[in-house]
């Protein structure tokens, strides 16, 4: 579904340049439900905005389904956004209309795109567990319920790809679990590919694959040790975070580059050079050996 290779995004303002993505590689399979984590400023939102067609990449390649998002024309980009992708933000609910009902809020974007499908709008609200609340005005719903209305809206155009930026950022744990349950259902039953960007390691721990971004590059991949384990099914030690259920792998790109965490480099005082040895089984990176005697 998604292939990014050597993806670069540079923000230019006056005489300042910020390299937000510096040659990022990422593959997401059709029908996958995965998460992207990373520190603040690592480039997560930049990546999501590019995938959502809200921002243009500077260089490299990014393919979503049949669309090449580097070369895509403005007209096709509008079509891509309308037909392929759905977006959920942390504070999506802020963009909803408080004096309209949940159902009217879902119908509004349908109206704007010229085709209101009331049956589908109702079905969407049922999917997000708001069947009983669809005629309530938005201001009568809790923050978590409003966020679920926002999820229903993101599915109005029947997207093949759903992008969620911190979808549980401002809700409590119970609502966060509920939202994750909705994502899982949409993924399983409708086959929607879902990419979640989050700081929340508990949330990330509930998906099979997590990719960590560091300094605008994919650095580590976490794969669930037992993908058949039912998430939230009791056996899973979710509270222990990612490492408890996932195996961590460092990402090696096509030409053999990998990122060594800064804390490892600092601990060994490695700056611009290192020694590398291969002992037949392991590759050992150490501070440069002194050339003198």
Contacts to ligand ATP by CB under 6 A: 11, 13, 18, 20, 38, 40-46
| Separation between Cα atoms, residue 142 and residue 233, nearest integer Å | 26
CB of 219 to ligand ATP, least distance (A): 13
Residue among 43 and 60 whose Cβ is closer to ligand ATP: 43
Task: CB nearer to ligand ATP: give 51 or 141.
Answer: 51
Nearer to ligand ATP, 46 or 220 (CB): 46
Measured CA to CA in angstroms, residue 277 lies from 133, 188, 255, 289 at distances of: 63, 45, 18, 11
Element (H, E) at 181: helix 173-185
Q: To the nearest whole angstrom, how small is the minimum distance from the Cβ of residue 49 to ligand ATP?
A: 8
Q: Alpha helices of 32-170 — where are they, by DSSP H?
A: 44-51, 74-83, 102-112, 118-127, 143-154
The minimum distance between CB 62 and ligand ATP, in angstroms, equals 15
Task: Specify the DSSP class assigned to residue 101.
Answer: B
Q: Min. distance of Cβ 54 from ligand ATP in angstroms?
A: 11
Nearest to 245 by CA among 211, 222, 213, 220: 222
Minimum CB distance to ligand ATP smaller for 107 or for 166: 166
Secondary structure tally for the chain: helices H, strands E:
9, 13
Residue 250 CA from chain centroid, whole number: 19
Could you tell me if 37 and 198 are in contact, meaning their C-beta atoms sit under 8 angstroms apart? yes
* Angle of CA points 46, 65, 78, to nearest 5°: 65
CB closer to ligand ATP, 45 vs 105: 45
Triad 151, 153, 155: Cα angle to 5°: 80
Residue 229 to residues 45, 207, 209, 265, Cα–Cα distance (Å): 30, 11, 13, 36
CB closer to ligand ATP out of 41 and 232: 41
CB of 46 to ligand ATP, least distance (A): 3
Closest distance of CB 47 from ligand ATP, Å = 7
Q: How far is the CB of 148 from ligand ATP (least distance, A)?
A: 23
Minimum CB distance to ligand ATP smaller for 22 or for 123? 22
């Amino acid at each position: 579904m998604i292939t990014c290779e050597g993806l670069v995004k540079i923000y230019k303002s006056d005489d300042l340049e910020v390299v937000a993505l510096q040659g990022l590689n990422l593959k997401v399979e059709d029908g996958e439900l995965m998460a992207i984590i990373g520190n603040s400023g690592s480039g997560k939102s930049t990546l999501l905005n590019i995938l959502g067609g809200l921002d243009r990449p500077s260089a490299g390649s990014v393919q979503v389904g049949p669309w090449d998002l580097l070369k895509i024309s403005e007209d096709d980009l509008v079509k891509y956004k309308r037909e392929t992708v759905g977006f959920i933000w942390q504070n999506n609910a802020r963009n909803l209309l408080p004096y309209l009902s949940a159902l009217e809020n879902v119908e509004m974007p349908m109206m704007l795109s010229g085709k209101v499908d009331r049956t589908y709008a109702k079905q969407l609200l049922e999917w997000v567990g708001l069947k009983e609340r669809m005629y309530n005005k938005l201001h009568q719903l809790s923050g978590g319920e409003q966020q679920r209305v926002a999820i229903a809206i993101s599915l109005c155009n029947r997207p093949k790809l759903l992008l969620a930026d911190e979808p549980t950022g401002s809700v409590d744990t119970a609502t966060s679990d509920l939202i994750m349950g909705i994502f899982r259902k949409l993924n399983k039953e409708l086959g929607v590919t879902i990419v979640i960007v989050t700081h929340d390691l508990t949330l990330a721990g509930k998906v099979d694959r997590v990719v960590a971004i560091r300094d605008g590059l994919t650095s580590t991949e976490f794969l669930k040790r037992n993908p058949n384990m039912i998430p939230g099914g009791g056996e899973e030690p979710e509270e222990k975070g990612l490492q408890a259920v996932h195996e961590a792998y460092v990402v090696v790109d096509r030409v053999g580059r990998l990122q060594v965490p800064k804390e490892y480099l600092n601990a060994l005082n490695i700056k611009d050079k290192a020694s590398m040895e291969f002992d037949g089984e392991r590759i050992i990176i150490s501070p440069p050996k002194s050339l003198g005697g």
